[in-house]
A and B are shown apart, each in its own frame.
Chain A
Amino acid sequence: MILKNISKFQGVIMMLDFLALSIALIISLAFAMLVIYLNYRLAHKPSKSEIKLSTYECGEEIIGEAQVRMNVQYYVYGIAYLIADIIAILILLWAVQSIELSFVGFVGIILLLAITVFSIGYTLKKNMLKWV
């Protein structure tokens, strides 16, 4: 349907997409910076003491470093997300064309889903997707 015939007309529409997105990004960036600039101009600037600029820890003395290493198990979430998300995007793209694709495409999608569920299930069984 859409993916099959990228005609000249479709090309123009696609270009409008990118044009619109880039203009929208410029406008929204400008807006966000304008708010911060306005704040910077309007705010009264009292003197900054060392205590005011210190890291917030409920008024206690600051202990140790904040930027510590995270437990390695955290990254399993990232990996599981990567696997499942790519498959979900593939399914989303398949879903647009689902009318035109034949039985073969359907079986392919079922297989893909089965592999995803199996791999996520294996990770869960091994107790790797666990918050520590």
Chain B
Amino acid sequence: MIDSIITYLKSNPLLADSLRVVVAMVFALIFMLLNALIFIYVERKVWARTMQRMGPTYVGKWGILQLIADFVKVLNKEIIIPAKANRFAFLAMPVFITAVSLLLIIVMPYDYVVAYTLLIFQPIFPAISILKYAVVSSYFQYGVLLIFVILSFNPIFILLTGWISNNKYSIVGGFRAAAQLLSFEVPFLLSVAAVVVLTGSLNLYEIVEKQKSMWLIFLAPLTFILFLITAIAEAERTPFDIPDAESEIIAGWNTEYSASPFLLLIMGMYVRAFVSATLLAIFFFGGWLGPTLPGFLAPMSGPLWLMIKTYFFMFLYILIRAAFPRYRIDQLLSLSWTKLLPLSVANLLIVIAVKYYLMSMGLMS
């Protein structure tokens, strides 16, 4: 049965590719949604504990089912579209923002994580090994470039969302968010350029494979710090969450949103935060490289290492959110243009010098 399917697909490469992409995307989507739920739950719990509160406790053991209850609750809410807002665009913008954020996950190696973790069930269902062929994220030769192309849609969409809501808080929030994202994009790109100089590749898989001898964090610590700061700003998280500073402009550019459009916007934000945590793990901490974990097969420990590292950065994001106060918008923008931009240019020059030195020593090809 399986053999005949494989021979049929081999004669139809386009169909086989499409099917592969669909399987990979569905995998990655389910994985991403689960992780967004876990991220929000962990964030609420850790955030509460740092404030000496309990966090969610009521639904399920330790409040584990709280997020699912919230999800069901939000689906039962009424969608309110303000009379002054543009009806069609008001519903279309959350769909676009979420769809574009979810587009990131096909480029990230999440389908690889799912496919190789499911190999646990290989002794029971031998056919599951076919999932190894469903990994498509390794084929993006320009993966890093693609991530930035997708991310650069965000300022436009956010500005539009604020504008079509026709609310003063939304518009101020939208303008602030767009300025912030634009300002931090440049040091973000320059610090990634330093990573690309050291690894010589735009493919996420090759970037990880190049770190086999040494993780980039040891080679370029300044790049890591720059990338961490700008990644938090690009994900609009505290201390750079000026777009939705509750005490000044209610909820920023999503003030007018309620029910499922609001859910979609929040989900898009968490997807972007999770993707940036994964990028930190891939660029600087060797992605899925690491010793074989005890009790797991060798191909499965790679994805598990990637998840462990990603969750470490997620945890760091949450602690940063709990510990630091918010910047003011003018302070934030001047931080980007007067400090981070010159620093990232200097960092790029340092990295180029390190690269030429290592090449002359024969330590790097």
Residues of A within 8 Å of B105, CB to CB, are 24
Tell whether A67 is near chain B: CB-to-CB under 8 Å: yes
Size of the chain B interface, CB-CB below 8 angstroms: 87
Tell whether B131 is near chain A: CB-to-CB under 8 Å: no
Q: Please, which residue of chain A has its CB at the minimum distance from the CB of B97?
A: A32
B29 touches A16 (CB 8 A): no
A27 touches B26 (CB 8 A): yes
Q: Please, which residue of chain A has its CB at the minimum distance from the CB of B167?
A: A55
Tell whether A23 is near chain B: CB-to-CB under 8 Å: yes
A66 touches B171 (CB 8 A): yes
B182 touches A78 (CB 8 A): yes
CB distance from A111 to the nearest CB of B (A): 13
B201 touches A28 (CB 8 A): no
Q: Is the interface of B mostly helix, strand, loop or mixed?
A: helix
Residues of A within 8 Å of B80, CB to CB, are 48, 52-53
Interface residues of B in 173-207 (CB under 8 A from A): 175, 179, 182-183, 185-186, 189-190, 192-194, 196-197, 200-202
**Partner-contacting stretch, out of B220-228, B293-301, B330-338:** B330-338
Work out how many contacts link A and B, with CB atoms closer than 8 A: 216
With A36-B261, A38-B260 as known contacts, state yes or no: A16 contacts B75, CB within 8 Å: no
A131 touches B352 (CB 8 A): no
Q: How large is the interface on A (under 10, 10 to 19, 20 to 34, 35 or more residues)?
A: 35 or more
CB distance from A93 to the nearest CB of B (A): 8
Contact residue among A36, A113, A130, A131 (Cβ-Cβ distance under 8 Å from B260): A36
Tell whether B45 is near chain A: CB-to-CB under 8 Å: no
A48 to B167, CA, bound (A): 19
Tell whether B18 is near chain A: CB-to-CB under 8 Å: yes
A95 touches B197 (CB 8 A): yes
Q: Is the interface of A mostly helix, strand, loop or mixed?
A: helix
A43 touches B259 (CB 8 A): yes
A-B pairs with beta carbons under 8 Å apart, 12 shown: A20-B106, A20-B139, A21-B146, A31-B99, A36-B260, A54-B84, A55-B82, A56-B250, A56-B255, A77-B183, A85-B185, A92-B192
Q: Give residues in B with beta carbon < 8 Å to A.
A: 14, 17-18, 21-22, 24-26, 29, 74-85, 91, 94-95, 98-100, 102-103, 105-106, 136, 139-142, 144-146, 148, 152, 163, 166-171, 175, 179, 182-183, 185-186, 189-190, 192-194, 196-197, 200-202, 250, 255-256, 259-261, 263-264, 329-330, 333-334, 337-338, 341-342, 345, 348-349, 352, 355, 359, 365
Q: List 4 tightest A-B contacts by C-beta distance, closest first.
A: A39-B260, A28-B102, A88-B189, A131-B330
Q: Give residues in A with beta carbon < 8 Å to B.
A: 1-2, 10, 13-14, 16-17, 19-21, 23-25, 27-29, 31-33, 35-36, 38-40, 42-46, 48, 50, 52-58, 66-68, 70, 74, 77-78, 80-81, 84-85, 88-89, 91-93, 95-96, 98-99, 106, 110, 113, 116-117, 120, 124, 129-131
